[in-house]
Amino acid sequence: MKRIFLLSIVPWLLLPVIVAAATARNVAPDDAYSMVSKRDGLYLLDVRTPGEFQQARLEGAHLIPIDQLVNRLTELPKDRPILVYCAVGSRSAQVVNYLARHGYPEVYNLYGGIYSWAQKGYPILQSRP
């Protein structure tokens, strides 16, 4: 009986360790720019609408609107860091937390979104993909 109890409680004890292994954090535009400049394996995820994406986006970004994310989760790599952005950082913050809870080990939110990125003068594409 004690053995069954211990076996049933061990997964709950390990859960915080598993969750803590995922990195989900906000990064300022300056830090995000460094990440984009220095990390070849960085996956850029834009979670805005297709219309917003057409107006302005980061070079190399992949568009998966937030309302499609759950159905397209398998498109995201688990073996690369992911930088998520939206217009001002609200939608992307939700996505980053979701991804961390679903086993993506290294996910970052562009704090302030593409607007804060553009205000710093960092490059954006402003034409149709």
Any idea which residues carry the catalytic annotation? 86
Q: What is the DSSP string of the chain?
A: -HHHHHHHHHHHHHHHHHHHTSEEEEE-HHHHHHHHHH-TTPEEEE-S-HHHHHH-B-TT-EE--GGGTGGGGGGS-SSS-EEEE-SSSHHHHHHHHHHHHTT-SEEEEETTHHHHHHHTT---B-S--
